């Protein structure tokens, strides 16, 4: 089969090929961006300034440079369906390069799979992980559907046992030592996968991922490579909010959407990994290696992040705008973003703690929390609280768990004044 230029888009085979001939239309004008000024950062978003935006991470709005990139690529694709971004580089490679820079030292572009969401990334991992007879999986009681269901399906397919441990009874009193010990005690001699979540969306608890990784490194001493327990992390509520790179986290796989706290294009995500040989591809890849093997009647060699990246045509205008999201956050500074997120969360927790009808679920400690602040309101369902807060121009959300909580997310799009406004509005819920 002769590959059309269109078919080559996702294959990496366009690297080095001359750029398209069509000129993308000019991007719309926006406010000048001063990354050192929080007002200017907020001005890059099209959010309604009349509202305190404490659910911005849910279906994340994109800042101006990301929106402009999306529009530019979309218009160019509409004008010329064979368009590829100027520069001659394989556009997916440009995305991997930007993601690797953002993920910090030791993150190599070749170790990054591109996905549509956290859920897709976890699905690829937990569907593709190669388990040997007798190997099992350990997770926790606190993870999101994407992890629990991904593992249930894995168990159904392979017969592997999946065990859950409880990391805390009262999330507000969670302790790093106890969380690490609970996982250590849950480990079996043949545990191959330890599936955890960086920041629990049910409670706002942030896990000591590095300490868990260090504990596992000890436990893995003396194990054969194919028996090593692999630490797999749903990173979505840490990624873009916390400054840790993959070396800081020390995990084996980090799956995250880039459309929540990173404020990247919707329908985009990544999986970084350092043990891709342990994962079989599930969806056919459109990588150059996959095409080459298929055209010659063979199959690709060892598993790689590129081969695990699902093929098929994508919303390319979104994928190709991912570098702008990484660049936006990097311009502000990952440390500054984390500091701002946590300062605002601490301010919110301090105010809510004073209210007698509020019970905080999220720990006070910045070591054990990120930007999520979860709480319950005495005598009121969380959804009613959300609706009433909305009338006070405060946008919050409800956790999608068996025991739902009222949830706020402080971020680069919220201000100290809006935090105070939210506290006042919650006070009014009495």
C-alpha triplet 28, 33, 38: angle, nearest 5° = 130
Question: In Å, how far are 238, 246, 308, 338, 406 from 330, measured between CA atoms?
Answer: 15, 16, 27, 12, 31
Nearer CB in complex with ligand PLP: 256/338: 256
- Give dist(CA 123, CA 146) in Å, integer: 7
Nearer CB in complex with ligand PLP: 230/233: 233
Nearer CB in complex with ligand PLP: 201/410: 201
Please report, as ranges, the residues that interact with ligand PLP according to CB under 6 A: 117-119, 144, 146, 197, 201, 234, 236-237, 257, 269
| Min dist. Cβ of residue 195 to ligand PLP (A) | 11
The DSSP code sequence of 221-287 is TTS-GGGPPEEEEE-TTTBTTB---HHHH--SEEEEESSSTT---TT-EEEEES-GGGB---S---S
| Min dist. Cβ of residue 297 to ligand PLP (A) | 36
Spatial contact of 406 and 386, defined as CB atoms under 8 Å apart? yes
Helix (H) / strand (E) containing 162: strand 162-165
Nearer CB in complex with ligand PLP: 291/326: 326
| Min dist. Cβ of residue 325 to ligand PLP (A) | 14
- Give dist(CA 138, CA 253) in Å, integer: 15
| Min dist. Cβ of residue 255 to ligand PLP (A) | 8
Which residue has the closest beta carbon to ligand PLP?
257
Nearer CB in complex with ligand PLP: 13/212: 212
Nearer CB in complex with ligand PLP: 9/122: 122
Residue 393 has a CB neighbour count (10 Å cut-off) of 14
Name 395's bridge partners: 53
Q: Which of 215, 223, 160 is nearest to 189 (CA)?
A: 223
Nearer CB in complex with ligand PLP: 117/415: 117
| Min dist. Cβ of residue 236 to ligand PLP (A) | 5
Nearer CB in complex with ligand PLP: 114/146: 146
| Min dist. Cβ of residue 274 to ligand PLP (A) | 21
| Min dist. Cβ of residue 102 to ligand PLP (A) | 17
- Give dist(CA 74, CA 22) in Å, integer: 13
| Min dist. Cβ of residue 55 to ligand PLP (A) | 11
Spatial contact of 252 and 216, defined as CB atoms under 8 Å apart? no
Q: Which of 314, 388, 384 is nearest to 116 (CA)?
A: 314
């Amino acid at each position: 089969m002769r590959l059309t230029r269109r078919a080559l888009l996702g294959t990496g085979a366009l690297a080095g090929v001359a750029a398209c001939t069509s000129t993308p239309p000019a991007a719309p004008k926006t406010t000048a961006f001063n990354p050192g000024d929080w007002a200017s950062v907020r001005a890059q978003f099209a959010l309604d300034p009349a509202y305190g935006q404490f659910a911005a991470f849910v279906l994340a709005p994109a800042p101006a440079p990301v929106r402009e990139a999306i529009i530019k690529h979309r218009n160019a694709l509409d004008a010329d369906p064979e368009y590829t971004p100027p520069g001659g580089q394989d556009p997916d490679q440009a995305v991997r390069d930007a993601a690797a820079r953002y993920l910090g030292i030791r993150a190599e572009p070749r170790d990054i799979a591109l996905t549509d969401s956290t859920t897709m990334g976890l699905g690829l991992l937990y569907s593709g992980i190669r388990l040997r007879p007798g190997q099992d999986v350990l997770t926790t009681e606190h993870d999101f559907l994407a992890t629990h269901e991904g593992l249930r399906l894995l168990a159904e397919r392979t017969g592997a046992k999946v065990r859950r441990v409880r990391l805390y009874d009262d999330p507000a009193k969670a302790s790093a030592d106890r969380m690490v010990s609970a996982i250590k005690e849950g480990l079996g001699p043949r545990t191959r996968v330890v599936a955890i979540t960086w920041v629990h969306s049910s409670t706002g608890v942030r896990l000591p991922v590095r300490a868990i990784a260090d504990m596992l490194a000890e436990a893995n001493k003396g194990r054969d490579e194919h028996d090593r327990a692999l630490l797999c992390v749903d990173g979505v509520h840490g990624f873009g909010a916390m400054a840790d790179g993959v070396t800081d986290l020390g995990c084996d796989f980090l799956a995250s959407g880039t459309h929540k706290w990173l404020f990247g294009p919707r329908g985009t995500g990544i999986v970084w990994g350092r043990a891709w040989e342990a994962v079989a591809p599930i969806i056919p890849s459109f990588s150059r290696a996959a095409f080459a093997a298929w055209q010659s009647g063979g199959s690709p060699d060892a598993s790689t992040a590129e081969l695990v990246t699902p093929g098929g045509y994508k919303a390319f205008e979104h994928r190709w705008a991912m570098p702008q999201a990484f660049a936006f956050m990097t311009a502000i500074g990952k440390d500054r973003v984390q500091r701002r997120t946590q300062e605002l969360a601490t301010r919110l927790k301090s105010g809510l703690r004073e209210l007698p009808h509020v019970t905080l679920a999220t720990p006070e400690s910045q070591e054990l929390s990120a930007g999520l602040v979860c709480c319950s309101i005495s005598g009121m369902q969380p959804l009613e609280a959300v609706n009433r807060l909305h009338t006070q121009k405060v946008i919050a959300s409800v956790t999608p768990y068996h025991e739902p909580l009222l949830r706020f997310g402080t971020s680069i799009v919220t201000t100290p004044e809006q935090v105070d406004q939210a506290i006042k509005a919650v006070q009014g819920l009495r």
